[in-house]
Amino acid sequence: MISRSQSKARAIARTEVPLWRVFGVLFLAAALTLMAGLTRAQDTTTSHGLSQFGELKYPADYPYFDYVNPNAPFGGEYSTWAFGTFDSMNPYITKGSAAGSSSVFIESLMAGNADEPDSVYGLIAESVEYPADRSWAIFNLRPEAKFSDGTPVMASDVVFTHYTFLEKGIPSYRAIMEAEIASVEAIGDHQVKFTFLAPSEDNTNLLLAAGAPVLSEAQFADRDFAESTLDPLMGTGPYVLESMDVGKQLVYVYNPDYWAADLPINVGNNNFERIRFEYYADPTAAFEGFKAGEYLFRTENSSQAWAQNYTFPAVESGYVAKEELVNGNIGSAQGFFFNLHREKFEDPRVREAIGMAFNFEWSNKTLFFGLYARVDSFFKNSDLEAQGMIPDDERAILEPYAADLPASVFTEEAYSPPVSGENQIDRSVIRAAGKLLDDAGWTIQDGVRKNAAGEQLTIEFLNYSPLFDRIINPYLENLERLGIEANNNRVDSAQYTERTRAREFDIMISTYGNSITPGLGLRQTYGSENANVPSRNRAGLENPAIDALVERIITSQTRDDLNLNTRALDRALRAMHIWVPQWFKDVHTVAYWDVYSYPDPALSPFALGASSYWWWDAEKAAKLEAEGAL
């Protein structure tokens, strides 16, 4: 175990691939296309990192990332809460409900950072080598890389992980990898070669390979990867499991023998000896636990709680800090998503009408205390968001696919939901929604909406949180004014996961976590190949025009091209009404017992990093302890 009294030199050496970038880099950075900071040898390029457009910010000899505190002290505990429960510690399979933090053990060949949206740097792999046509890539593994049990990472482990994921992992992962990678082979103990199905003019496939996670082949000599288990995966990461109370608590402890402690990519990260998650079945109980000091850090997602609940004595005395910190990410595409496999939702006019009945303005004033803005784009608050009437450059992209797109793409402004009153939904909005339903064949019969066959239009909202009851229930009243019978079915988190994976719902609540540098991950979220398997394509969207637009984005050669192609995709998606957009805010709303400190948050716009490059402030903690606050 590591004590707080260890030297500063040892303290600043430890680091990790933080929780916010473990495995997510596979999809977040998969579109990266151009290299920089490179050295050339004959007809191949060797690089310590990859950047999508232009040069890497950090050269090969960088000491640490600009946004970290290289002198951050080590020790203490980062503690937060998680909702629901878990019965698995493998997040890469469809069986079981995995703990949300169970990917903490796993590192990838290369990893991203918090101040560049489209760059990755060597982690398990020291460098990558590839030819001009990018038909293959060789990753040179660091000989010192080790799993948490001290065994070395071999090229064969990378090969094992790839083919195991293809055979037994998440289906959407397999769909992406099979479409791009022909083979993965060990060509030495510490060299692994990815051969791609076709040459490429960009680095898309290189970065797909660079984001590959690495598991230990030896761990699965007598264990089936596909079976759900509470035995954690063994990886190369800086933390290992210390203790578990199933469905109640998980505690991870820093591995004092972490192999990558001295790497520049890690300096100033991993500043906590322990990371603890307290599980709660009820958000109200979780908040009471925070007030009581059962855990010390909280990202607040409820505007009502943010506006009203942080007046308890510990806040008023300054023991608990309440802050709004910079969030430079695009606005999350959060909304009510339709199950497009349901026949009643086939007509986009029906979906649009249902969406019009949601009165955001009333909700924001009455329920959210005016803290939110309406999200109407899948890439809100960025240069990727479509605006106004279609410009000529977007029209040129979209016209070849006109047969598979709504006509409104070319004749109307990029769709934004109608603005209604803060006191009640406007009658004009209800009338317009009613006409759409009439035109779609759902007319008022005996006071309710029915189709020509006499079938009533009914809707079920599948919900997992009591916090959403106050949002959904007023929405139901507006739908009833349209003659639609709607209900709110709240289930536990395990049932919600099971039903949404099986697409057993009418409307669900979800967030499409798009990237400011979108790429191959778009296939998971919008691609037809993922419409009928458990995936991030929650709505089950199948559309050849969308598929083609996704491919245009993936092969974009410049940032300007990427932005333009994504705006075209955004315009098309919004016209299809696959969701009822909800809301977003451009800050992190956080509260924490004042035992933590952090670097300037403006320097790390793409991640909050609380569990990674924040640190335990022993002086602050001693003060709270002396005053009996903790």
Q: Is the pLDDT of residue 73 over 60?
A: yes
* Whole-number Å distance between alpha carbons of 488 and 563: 38
Asked whether the beta carbons of 388 and 548 are under 8 A apart, the reply is: no
Instruction: With beta carbons less than 8 A apart as the criterion, state whether 175 and 527 touch.
Output: yes
Q: What is the mean pLDDT of residues 371-400?
A: 94
Residues 529, 520: Cα–Cα separation, whole Å? 13
Report residue 494's pLDDT band, with 50, 70 and 90 as the boundaries: confident
Where in the chain are the domains?
23-70+96-220, 333-583
According to DSSP, residue 202 is labeled S
Nearest to 482 by CA among 323, 359, 334, 313: 359
State how far the Cα of 158 lies from the Cα of 164, in Å rounded to an integer.
10
Residue 134 DSSP label = -
Q: Does domain 333-583 have CATH number 3.40.50.150?
A: no
pLDDT of residue 576: 98
Share the mean pLDDT of the chain. 90
Summarize pLDDT for 152-204 with one digit per residue, the tens.
Answer: 999 999 999 999 999 998 887 888 888 899 999 999 999 999 999 999 887 88
Query: Are 145 and 153 spatial neighbours (Cβ–Cβ below 8 Å)?
Result: yes
Q: How confident is the model at residue 39 (pLDDT cuts 50, 70, 90)?
A: very low
Whole-angstrom Cα distance, residue 420 to residue 360? 8
- H/E segment holding residue 622: helix 618-626
Q: How confident is the model at residue 519 (pLDDT cuts 50, 70, 90)?
A: confident
pLDDT at 221: 94
Helix H or strand E encompassing 275: strand 274-280
CB 89 within 8 A of CB 229: yes
Length, in residues, of the chain: 630
Question: What is the C-alpha separation between 57 and 534, in angstroms, rounded?
Answer: 37
Measured in degrees and rounded to the nearest 5, phi and psi for residue 584 equal -155, 165
pLDDT score at 338: 98
Cα–Cα dist 79/512, whole Å: 27
Q: What's at 572, amino acid-wise?
A: A
| Token couple for 291 | 């007030």
Beta carbons of 520 and 208 less than 8 angstroms apart: yes
Single out the residue of 215, 194, 213, 210 nearest to residue 151, CA to CA.
215
End-to-end Cα distance, the chain: 24
User: Which candidate, 608, 606, 14, 60, places its Cα nearest to that of 266?
Assistant: 14
Burial of 394 (C-beta count, 10 Å sphere; 0-12/13-18/19+)? buried
CATH code linked to domain 23-70+96-220: 3.40.190.10
Average pLDDT over residues 490-518: 90
Structure tokens at 630: 């903790």
For 339-354, write each residue's pLDDT tens digit. 999 999 999 999 999 9
CA dist 152 and 236 (Å) reads 9
Q: Chain centroid to CA 130: how far? A: 29
pLDDT tens digits, one per residue of 247-258: 899 999 999 999
Report how far apart, in Å, the C-alpha atoms of 397 and of each of 33, 122, 170, 216 are. 21, 36, 32, 45
DSSP 520-537: THHHHHH-GGGTTSSSS-
Residue-wise pLDDT tens digits, 284-319: 999 999 999 999 999 998 888 898 999 999 999 999
pLDDT for residue 4: 31
pTM of the model: 0.76
Cα 328–chain centre separation: 14
- Interval 507-512 mean pLDDT: 92
User: Letter for the amino acid at 2?
Assistant: I
Residue 587: closest CA among 345, 327, 249, 270: 327
Q: Give dist(CA 360, CA 374) in Å, integer.
A: 7
For the segment 441-481, what is each residue's pLDDT rounded down to a tens digit? 999 999 999 999 999 999 999 998 888 999 999 999 999 99
The span from the CA of 208 to the CA of 401, in Å, is 28
Region for residue 327 given its phi and psi (left: phi exceeds 0; alpha: psi -120 to 50; beta: otherwise): beta
pLDDT (mean) for 226-250: 95
